[in-house]
Amino acid sequence: MGDIRYDDRVAVITGAGGGLGRSYALYLAARGAKIVVNDLGGSTDGQGNDSRAADAVVAQIRDLGGVAVANYDSVATAQGGERIIQTAIDTFGTVDIVINNAGILRDASLVKMSAESFDALIDVHLKGAFYVTQPAFRVMKEKGYGRVVYTASGAGLFGNFGQANYAAAKMGLVGLSSVTAIEGAKYNIKSNVITPIARTRLTEGVMGATGEMFAPEYIAPMVAYLVSESCEYTHEIFNVGAGRYSRIFVASAPGWNAPAGATPSVEDIRDQLSIITSTASYKIPANAVDA
């Protein structure tokens, strides 16, 4: 098999002014993709804006012989999402790839978290991915091709102290990707989720010395495969970090069936919990009806 390339493909990458987004932009550009480098240029908690981050990545891509354009819109509004995709259309004529990577952090324990901090994370991570993907999906559906990656987190799938807002937003992305995959199936639109573990501006304060093990460059090849024409996987979740790549999945076990025509009591539930909670012979449902 030959090299995987992205010649004539247009990729929109949010939060691409640094960290993971920057690594994706450089990787895809080096293999022929035209890149929309979106970055608001704000602080890690979403304050302010600065065009320099996106401009620096665009300059680096162009210096290496690639093709890129900067966009500074916020993903946190519908208008911003539309403008990000319109930048791709105005500059390159289409959009083939969307990598939803933009994010912020505002950690606090559950009882100390403000409603504003909760809403801010939902706006950027969850609504932001929707606002960018929806207009791109319309283009992809019309042309019969598209690749979408959503960035979730182990915090969303499994929880993490002090990150109720982040976890809720990230788990929401799993559901959003599932629907994107189902609705995009007949249009050759593949949608997948990654849960990366990487040293970025958002995580460097908590990783310490171990951060060197989690370079963003470990994540880029997996994402690059998921947005390639070669990728046939969709509706999947992949955990990626420090050179380890694995599948994560939501499954359903056989469980216990109450006798036909009988409404079980709370004691019946208690007595059957060993069967109800067993993970033996699990299956991975294709959708809610299958579940």
Distance, in Å, from the CA atom of 69 to the CA atom of 54, rounded to the nearest integer, reads: 9
What six digits make up the tokens of 285?
């449902």
166 is catalytic: yes
Strands 67-71, 34-38: parallel, antiparallel or unpaired by DSSP? parallel
DSSP per-residue codes, 197-253: ----TTTHHHHGGGGGGG-GGGTHHHHHHHTSTT----SEEEEEETTEEEEE---B-
Query: Comparing C-alpha atoms, which of 82, 10, 84, 78 is closest to residue 40?
Result: 84
Burial per residue of 45-83, b for 16 or more beta-carbon CB atoms within 10 angstroms, e otherwise? ebeeeeeebbbbbbebbeeeebebbbbbbbbbeeebbbb
Residue type, position 49, single letter: N
Question: Of 85, 108, 82, 107, nearest to 96 (Cα)?
Answer: 85
Q: Which of 72, 145, 150, 166 is catalytic?
A: 166
Catalytic residue list: 166
